[in-house]
A and B are shown apart, each in its own frame.
Chain A
Amino acid sequence: MKIINKMHTKILLICCSILIISGAAFASKKHLTMGMVLEPPHLDPTAGAAAAIDEIVYANVFEGLTRINQNAEVLPALAESWSISRNGLKYTFKLQKGVKFHDGSIFDSNDVVFSLNRARSEKSTNAQKSLFSSIKEVMAQGTNTVIVTLKNPTGNFLFNMGWGDAVIVDSSSANSNKSNPIGTGPFTFKRWVKGDRIELGENKSYWGQKPALKTATFKIIPDPAAAVAALMAGDADAFANFPAPEMASQFQSDSRFTVKVGSTEGETILSTNNKQKPFNDLRVRQAIAHALNSKEIIDGAMFGFGTPIGSHFAPHHAAYINLTGTYPHNINKAKKLLTEAGLPDGFSATLKLPPPSYARRGGEIVASQLRKVGIKLEIIPVEWAQWLDQVFKNKDFDLTIVSHTEPMDIGIYTRPKYYFQYQNPSFNSIIEELNVTSSTKKRYALMGAAQAILSKDAVNGFLFQLAKLGIWNKNVIGLWENSPVQANDLTGVSWKK
Chain B
Amino acid sequence: MNYSILKNLWKQSLNNRSFLLGIVLSLIMILTGLISIFWTPFPVEIFDISHKLEGPSAKHWLGTDHFGRDMTSMLMAGAWNSMLVSLFAISLGAGIGIPLGVFAAGKSGWVEELVMRFNDFAFAFPALLTAVMISAIYGPGIINSVIAIGIFNIPVFARISRGSALVIYKLEFILAARISGKNEFQIAFEHILPNILSVLIIQSTIQFALGILAEAGLSYLGLGTQPPQPSWGKMLSEAQTMMFIAPQMAILPGIAIVLTVLGLNLLGDGLRDILDPRLRDKN
Chain A residues in contact with chain B, CB under 8 A? Answer: 224-225, 228, 244, 246-247, 249-250, 296, 299-300, 361, 364-365, 367-369, 371-372, 379-381
Q: Is the Cβ of B66 less than 8 Å from the Cβ of A368?
A: no
Residues of B within 8 A of A244 (CB): 241
Measured CB to CB, the closest approach of chain A to B46, in angstroms, equals 6
Measured CB to CB, the closest approach of chain A to B68, in angstroms, equals 7
| Chain A binder among B89-97, B150-158, B194-202, B220-228 | B220-228
Q: Is the Cβ of A367 less than 8 Å from the Cβ of B228?
A: yes
Residues of B within 8 A of A228 (CB): 241
Any A CB within 8 A of the CB of B47 = yes
> Given A300-B67, A368-B47, A371-B46, are A379 and B241 neighbors across the interface (CB < 8 Å)?
no
Q: Would you give 22 A-B contacts (Cβ < 8 Å), ordered by A?
A: A225-B240, A225-B241, A244-B241, A246-B242, A246-B245, A247-B245, A299-B52, A300-B47, A300-B49, A300-B68, A364-B228, A365-B67, A367-B227, A367-B228, A368-B67, A369-B47, A379-B227, A379-B228, A380-B139, A381-B140, A381-B222, A381-B226
CA–CA, A140 to B45, complex, Å? 63
CA–CA, A361 to B46, complex, Å? 14
Produce 1/0 per residue, B44-84, CB < 8 A to A: 01110110100000000000001110000000000000000
Interface of A: prevailing SS:
helix
Closest-by-CB residue of B relative to A378 is B226
CA–CA, A228 to B245, complex, Å? 13
Any A CB within 8 A of the CB of B244 = yes
Closest-by-CB residue of B relative to A371 is B45
Residues of B241-263 whose CB lies within 8 A of A:
241-242, 244-245
Residues of A within 8 A of B240 (CB): 224-225
Interface of B: prevailing SS:
loop
CA–CA, A371 to B47, complex, Å? 10
Measured CB to CB, the closest approach of chain A to B51, in angstroms, equals 11
Cβ-closest 5 pairs across A and B = A225-B240, A300-B49, A244-B241, A368-B47, A296-B49
Kindly count the residue-residue contacts between A and B in the assembled complex, taking CB atoms under 8 Å apart.
54
> Given A367-B228, A368-B67, A379-B226, are A296 and B244 neighbors across the interface (CB < 8 Å)?
no
Q: Categorize the interface residue count of chain B.
A: 20 to 34
Closest-by-CB residue of B relative to A298 is B49
Q: Is the Cβ of A300 less than 8 Å from the Cβ of B46?
A: no
**Interface contacts beyond A296-B47, A300-B68: sample of 20 additional A-B pairs, CB < 8 Å, sorted by A:** A225-B241, A246-B241, A246-B242, A246-B245, A247-B245, A250-B245, A299-B50, A300-B66, A361-B66, A364-B227, A365-B49, A365-B67, A368-B45, A368-B47, A368-B228, A369-B47, A371-B45, A371-B46, A379-B227, A380-B139
Chain B residues in contact with chain A, CB under 8 A? Answer: 45-47, 49-50, 52, 66-68, 139-140, 222, 226-228, 240-242, 244-245
> Given A296-B47, A300-B49, are A224 and B228 neighbors across the interface (CB < 8 Å)?
no
Closest-by-CB residue of B relative to A363 is B227
CA–CA, A135 to B89, complex, Å? 63
Measured CB to CB, the closest approach of chain A to B272, in angstroms, equals 39
Measured CB to CB, the closest approach of chain A to B132, in angstroms, equals 14
Closest-by-CB residue of A relative to B53 is A246
Measured CB to CB, the closest approach of chain A to B71, in angstroms, equals 16
Closest-by-CB residue of A relative to B241 is A244
Measured CB to CB, the closest approach of chain A to B208, in angstroms, equals 28
Q: Is the Cβ of A372 less than 8 Å from the Cβ of B46?
A: yes
CA–CA, A379 to B242, complex, Å? 22
Measured CB to CB, the closest approach of chain B to A400, in angstroms, equals 15
CA–CA, A369 to B46, complex, Å? 8
CA–CA, A361 to B50, complex, Å? 15
Residues of B within 8 A of A379 (CB): 226-228
CA–CA, A365 to B46, complex, Å? 9
Residues of B within 8 A of A225 (CB): 240-241
CA–CA, A369 to B45, complex, Å? 10
CA–CA, A296 to B240, complex, Å? 22
Measured CB to CB, the closest approach of chain B to A318, in angstroms, equals 32
Measured CB to CB, the closest approach of chain B to A301, in angstroms, equals 9
CA–CA, A247 to B68, complex, Å? 17
Q: Is the Cβ of B140 less than 8 Å from the Cβ of A299?
A: no
Residues of A within 8 A of B241 (CB): 224-225, 228, 244, 246-247
Closest-by-CB residue of B relative to A367 is B228
Closest-by-CB residue of B relative to A372 is B46
Closest-by-CB residue of A relative to B223 is A381
Measured CB to CB, the closest approach of chain B to A217, in angstroms, equals 23
Closest-by-CB residue of B relative to A243 is B241
Closest-by-CB residue of B relative to A244 is B241
CA–CA, A322 to B240, complex, Å? 37
CA–CA, A371 to B242, complex, Å? 26
CA–CA, A66 to B161, complex, Å? 75
